[in-house]
Amino acid sequence: MPRIVKFFETTLRDGEQTPGINYFAEEKLEIARALADMGFDTLDCGFAISGEPEFEAIRLIARNVHNAEICSIARSFPDDIDRAWEAVKDAEHSSIHPFISTSPLHREVKLGKTRAEVLELARTAVARGRQYTPNVDFALEDTTRTEHDFILEVIEAVMKEGVRYVALCDTVGFALPWEFGELVDDVRREFPDVRISAHCHDDLGLAVANALTALMHGAERVDTCFNGLGERAGNAATEEVVMAIRTRRQNLDLDVKVDTTKIIPTSRLVARLSGMQPQWTKAIVGANAFAHGGGVHQDGVLKDTRTYEIMRPEDIGLPASDRRMFVGKLSGRAALNAQLKELGYELTPDQLARAFVLVKHVLGKKRVLEEMDLRQCAEAAISPVSDEMIKASGLVVEEAD
């Protein structure tokens, strides 16, 4: 029986830290409802101490979203933790998530604190949170650049105070997958009862790989953002982690309880409210995720989609018709024929051969074919004067197959 992966979905907090994004309270509520309806376990809704608008937005979500756990993060200071609890206490399911930087660089430059001081702040943060709720998680910011022995010291201290999850954070996307896997192994070997959440950033493009590696080594939960939003290069993309697990669940012996058919609607909601569209070639949710441009690929997909697609559009909430064949300079006749059929043209093999030549000629003059270009080429190919047109242009028509 595959193990079900839990999610700490942080689109509303770490995702909003993407430079240029600023959600209003009602927008955060709309996204929170979409995420909860998909089945994500815990929603990281914001940083309550950061200001009144953020506090009110978190509290609005806590009072209106009942099918997911509602969380606020907090620095390891009493006022932060108290404020976080005030924001989420009205939720049907609530949690708080203090954190502190543990790496030498962060301790010395950012915090100006010793190892002993950081250790005590971590311990007392969990202890204070536990006065409010048993659902207290703790994150070691910049874990992957922290001394190994100090990681273990901090984890031991917070576990003694009753922490629920310990988040191992690759805050700056520094770790390589095997390093992150070894870290998870080492922590679990030292503390067999620890529950680990993996928080991975994408500075080297390894966030999803690191998150999956952590799960394979025994982490129970992953922190993710829709559309790969987040600081700098973003966090592990929610949709990529979900579909990697769902698509390869037999190999990973993992699964998700998330409704994958809502991935596209939620991705588009986040894109609309954030003002940031995913890149066209973005995995899963990019505009070209089910688009084919090369003739060999197009021919294969037209015969059997499994030749070049490992998922179906329907799996993530797209209609099958969203699979697209782009007619370009590398396309073949099969793709052109499919496109023209969609436009209502049934061409004979000879007509298709002439249309193919005309299309290639047009593509020598412009980058992208528009519908009118295709229609004009089809009409010209059907026309009795098409041979004269082609001959006058100096083009050569290959014999139809």
Cut 0.85: pTM above it: yes
Least reliable range by pLDDT among 177-181, 304-308, 331-335: 331-335
Per-residue confidence (pLDDT) for residue 330, from 0 to 100: 77
Does the pLDDT value for residue 401 go beyond 50?
no
User: What are the tokens at 87?
Assistant: 């924001």
pLDDT at 321 over 60: yes
pLDDT tier, 327 (very low <50, low <70, confident <90, very high otherwise): confident
Q: Three-state DSSP class for 91?
A: coil
| Pairing, β 221-224 against β 196-200 | parallel
Write out pLDDT tens, residues 63-72.
999 999 999 9
Does residue 279 register a pLDDT over 60? yes
pLDDT number for residue 299: 83
**Phi-psi map region of 386: left, alpha, beta (phi>0 left; psi -120 to 50 alpha):** alpha
Q: Which of 94, 35, 34 is nearest to 59 (CA)?
A: 94
Structure tokens belonging to residue 97: 């998530």
Q: What is the pLDDT of residues 350-366, one digit of tens each?
A: 888 888 888 887 877 77
CA distance 28 to 33: 9
pLDDT band at 393 (very low <50, low <70, confident <90, very high): low
**For residue 42, what pLDDT is reported?**
98
User: For residue 235, what is the DSSP state?
Assistant: B
Per CATH, the architecture of 3-274 is what?
A: Alpha-Beta Barrel (3.20)
Half-sphere exposure of 327 (CA within 13 A, CB side): 28
CA 61 centroid distance within chain: 22
Q: 201 near 233, Cβ under 8 Å?
A: yes
What pLDDT score does 201 carry? 98
DSSP conformational letter for 8 = E
222 strand-pairing partners: 7, 198
pLDDT of residue 392: 58
Q: Read off the pLDDT of each residue in 115-121 and give the average, rounded to a whole number.
A: 98
Give the rounded distance of the alpha carbon of 119 from its chain centre: 33
User: Quick one: average pLDDT of 146-152?
Assistant: 98
Q: What residue spans in the chain does CATH classification 3.20.20.70 cover?
A: 3-274
pLDDT of residue 386: 56
* Least confident window among 122-131, 160-169, 290-299: 290-299
Q: What's the pLDDT score for residue 334?
A: 83
Residue 175 confidence (pLDDT) above 90? yes
The CA-to-CA distance between both ends of the chain, in Å, stands at 51
Q: Is 74 helix (H, G, I), strand (E, B) or coil?
A: strand
Query: Tens digit of pLDDT for each residue in 378-389?
Result: 888 888 655 565
- pLDDT higher than 60, residue 161: yes
How many residues in total does the chain contain?
401
* Distance (Å, whole) CA 266 – CA 264: 5
Mean pLDDT of all residues belonging to the chain: 93
In 135-253, beta strands by DSSP E = 138-141, 166-170, 196-200, 221-224
Q: Which helix (H) or strand (E) holds 122?
A: helix 115-130
Least confident of 191-205, 220-234, 292-306: 292-306
Q: pLDDT confidence of 195, banded at 50, 70, 90?
A: very high
Distance CA 201, CA 236 (A): 6
- C-alpha to C-alpha distances, 129 to 3, 82, 304, 312, 313, nearest whole angstrom: 29, 8, 55, 44, 43
In degrees, to the nearest 5, what angle opens at C-alpha 140 toward C-alphas 151 and 51?
160
CA dihedral 214, 215, 217, 218 (to 10 degrees): 120
Query: Cα–Cα distance between 253 and 172 in angstroms, integer?
Result: 29
Nearest to 222 by CA among 263, 165, 267, 264: 165
| Six-digit token string for 50 | 């950061």
Contacts of 16 (CB under 8 A, 6+ apart): 22, 23, 28, 46, 229
Residue 140, helix vs strand vs coil: strand
Q: Higher confidence at residue 322 or residue 243?
A: 243
Instruction: Give the mean model confidence (pLDDT) for residues 314-321.
Output: 91
Euclidean distance between CA atoms 254 and 218, whole angstroms: 11
Whether the CB-CB separation of 198 and 211 falls below 8 Å is answered with: yes
